[in-house]
Amino acid sequence: MPSLKEIRGRIGSVRNIAQITRAMEMMSASRMKRAQDAILAARPYAEELHAALVRVASAVGEEVDPLLALRPIRRIGLIVMTSDRGLAGALDSNTVRAALRYISEHEPAEGSSEPVQVTAVTIGRKGRDQLRRAGVPIAAHFQRFGDRPGFADVTPVARLVVEDFLEGTYDEISVVYPAFISTLSQHPDVLTILPVRQPEDQSAEEAVRNDEYLFEPSAEAVLSRLLPHYVAIDLYRAVLEANASEQSARMIAMRNATDNANELIDDLTLVYNKTRQATITREMIEIASGAEALGG
């Protein structure tokens, strides 16, 4: 049985940990509110831009711009977004598992018996380390963009994947990120950003449209400026989703850690009181036994 001093030391250590996790919970709560406001403000613009470009791509055809080109899928660039610091529960592990599942489930290219080659571009140290251990080739790595990511932070990643797609390094560019659903729920999602295509769940009525567009000076000139911007917007939205998910998951994880620490303190306090009572009882019995022996 541990001594009273050892139990007091454990109680003090756990109490210090509870204070740290409580402070981290409060910090994550303040950052979470800011991150949630950012993604809720960015979603409508990103969704409308995506819907508009899907309609335009359907109307003009893939020959107008190389970013619209549909090629046989033999090489995929997969952008994986995770955190740098961890302490966010199972958020990063779930995202990496979704990326590995996406890689394993991909079918071979049409007319080829060789499997599709998937190369990762990682944003966040946790994803890079886990994918490296899983043997997934990593073409580039970027650190996370802090607690207040800006659009300018995403443009280097967007420029890299656009250039790789135009050069034929990849036939498809997708991104895996933890989508923010609510404070208590974050779910990994896979989004294909290049080439621009109609979503598979689009109804036939929505797919068949008679949209007509007038381009000035030309469709090529407009889309050559708009499509790279669309890629950057989609990546920026994914970064904001990941940031809101990370702060929410970290706040919940730190709250659970604080609750567990407080429960452990209560259990250790009970053990301390029982041990102290047993010690007092034993000492009283020894004193009584000694007095009786002296009196006899």
- What pLDDT is attached to residue 59? 72
Q: What is the DSSP string of 112-156?
A: --SPPEEEEEEESHHHHHHHHHTT--EEEEE----SS--HHHHHH
pLDDT in tens, 232-280: 999 999 999 999 999 999 899 999 999 999 999 999 899 888 888 888 8
pLDDT in tens, 201-216: 555 445 445 467 777 7
β-bridge mates for residue 188, sequence order: 178
Q: Is 132 exposed, middle or buried (0-12, 13-18, 19+ CB in 10 A)?
A: middle
Q: Is 224 exposed, middle or buried (0-12, 13-18, 19+ CB in 10 A)?
A: middle
- What pLDDT is attached to residue 200? 54
- Tokens linked to 30: 């303040």
Distance CA 105, CA 74 (A): 14
The CATH homologous superfamily to which domain 22-253 belongs is: ATP synthase, F1 complex, gamma subunit (3.40.1380.10)
CATH top class, domain 4-20+254-295: mainly alpha
Q: Does the structure show a pLDDT above 50 at 3?
A: yes
- What pLDDT is attached to residue 207? 47
Q: Does the structure show a pLDDT above 80 at 112?
A: no
Provide the residue count of the chain: 296
- Tokens linked to 277: 């009572």
Chain-centroid distance, C-alpha 141: 15
In the chain, where are the structural domains located?
A: 4-20+254-295, 22-253
Average pLDDT in the 131-143 region? 89
Predicted TM-score (pTM) of the model is 0.81
Nearest 5°: phi and psi at 39? -70, -35
